[in-house]
Structure 1
Amino acid sequence: MVRKLTASAIVATSMWIAGIASVAAQQPEFSAPDPVLINGKVLTLDERSTMTEAVAVADGKILATGTSASIKALAGARTRVLDVAGKTVIPGLIDTHAHFKAAGLGDYVVIMGRAKTVAEALEAIKAFAAKKKPGEWIVGGAWHPPSQLAEKRYLTRQEIDSVAPDNPVYLRTVGHFSMANSMALQRVGIDKTTADPNGGKFERDAAGELTGVLVETAIDRVEKAVPPWTEDDEMRQFTIAESVLNSFGITSVVEGATEARDIACCRSMSHPGKPHCAPA
């Protein structure tokens, strides 16, 4: 059955190129492919940058490209024939600098990137805290309050306390600042008498009270107190990240910063014939 694809303007084939072959040369060796994509603009990215109309896939590998008629002729009774209606089909993309696991943290951290005001940021923390037990750490995802929020500033510990009084809260940013609420500071023994570390600062207000903003090396004191993810958590994060990246047509990434435990986790998830999360 022929089906129309209407989901996106670009259709990315999330499988590895296993060699672009002509239909005529390999047709006798084919088992019925699944799926086949027809009526598209297939960018093969071969040495001649060939553009064709259709592609046949089997077992996650591209078997052949050619005209829509020649590729459709390979379809078996159970083959999905996808009519991409002139859309562009490309091989899987490779991101050459990514923070892979971060794409899988949506269920584990407060998503702060969508907040546009202090009130929205606090509401996101409040909603996340409602799902946590008292005393459990709450960690925020990457964001940049001064450029992101209408108020052009960081959150204070008192503001964070107002929506998460029963949990230690630690909010990372994409810069050289982080934020912590009162319970998080108490967990690591920081109060207004604590001296600033070399190369860092515990920000204070005009009255000398801690604001909860941590600068440069002062971040480490709280960062190191946040419990690491369990192995099961990390495996799930990698699995989620794969799905998120695949949804954008990204099938391989080069990790920008990889810890030893991440490599070990990837190795434990790697299985022969199932190329996911395999360290190279």
Structure 2
Amino acid sequence: MPRAIISIVVFAVAITGLALTARLGARTQQPAAEAAELVLTNGKVVTVEEGAPDAQAIAIRGSRILAVGSSADIRKHVGAKTQVIDVQGQLVIPGFIEGHGHFTGIGTAELGLKLMHAKTWDEIVAMVAERVKTAKPGEWIYGRGWHQEKWDTKPSAAVEGFPVHDALSKVSPDNPVVLTHASGHATFVNAKAMHLSDITSATRDPEGGDLIRDAKGNLTGLLRERASGLVRRGRGAPALSEAEAADREQRILELATQEVLSKGVTSFQD
């Protein structure tokens, strides 16, 4: 066989061998595991999967779960930029889904005074007085979460276990104040809020609600159930510019998002 033909045959065999080796290598080589952005390890992961309800670790990239398994299994998803958090045996569960809520209401409440931890009525009055210092005249002040049964002491002046508005009205003469009960079924207002809402001693109780009065018929400031709807919130308040209103709405959404995520709620239906 001429030398040139032998060279061609040897070259062809070599190329064929290289191609075969490449194909065999492709079959045996495992693809690299996708690197996660976040890995939670050494935890008690609840998968809600019937076949494998428990795991130790979870790998996450973007909004997608890459894998769950043992801490050793998930280690392959740790890349150079992966944030790894050792949860030290803590429980890791899927996010909660809120089936019915008021998302912007949560954010709006976050803008106001948080009264759930107040131990006395005097403490609440002091919180309002502090907010008045930074509020514009006529600006409405809101708060939520108070509950008279959680106070260490009862107000010195009380009707049906609830305070009267005198002390509150004294510290907020130019700012209407609306404080929503923890249950959402009652509202406490000051004199300015009642004035702007045209609520007087002559105001009749609406159907399904009542205005609490003292023995002399004077309004105490407590509006129960549907009587809370008599408050004309925002009336007389300084008008916001278009930019200010947009900023406020954005802030409400941000605060609501932070609050629900802090409680493990990841989906929300309003």
TM-score, normalising length: structure 2: 0.73
1:137 aligns with 2:140: yes
Tell me by how many angstroms 1:68 deviates: 1.8
Aligned match of 1:160: 168
Distance of 2:79 and 2:201 partners within structure 1: 73
User: Is 1:178 matched with 2:187?
Assistant: yes
Give 1:31's aligned amino acid: E
1:242 and 2:257 matched: yes
* Number of residue pairs aligned between Structure 1 and Structure 2: 228
State which drifts further: 245-254 or 196-205.
Answer: 196-205
- Pairwise CA distance, 1:248: 2.6
Unaligned runs of 5+ in 1: 1-26, 256-280
Structure 1 residue 239: deviation in Å?
1.7
**1:39 to 2:42 alignment:** yes
Matches of 2:43 and 2:208, distance apart in 1:
57
Match of 2:76?
73
CA RMSD of aligned residues (A): 2.7
Q: Which residue of 1 aligns with 2:216?
A: 207
User: Is the helix fraction higher in 1 or 2?
Assistant: 2
Distance 1:82 1:224 in 2: 46
Structure-2 separation of matches of 1:51 and 1:231: 45
Q: Which has the larger radius of gyration?
A: 2
* Residues 1:83 and 2:91 are matched in the alignment: no
Return 5+ residue gaps in structure 2 as ranges: 1-29, 156-160
Query: Is the contact between residue 72 and residue 81 of structure 1 (CA under 8 Å) also seen in structure 2?
Result: no
Could you say if the C-alpha distance between residues 196 and 97 of structure 1 is closer, same or farther in structure 2, counting changes exceeding 3 Å? closer
Which residue of the partner structure matches residue 114 of structure 1? 117
Residue type at the aligned position of 2:124:
A
Instruction: Please report the TM-score for the alignment, with normalisation by the length of structure 1.
Output: 0.70
User: Percent same amino acid among aligned pairs?
Assistant: 37
SS in 2 for 1:242: helix
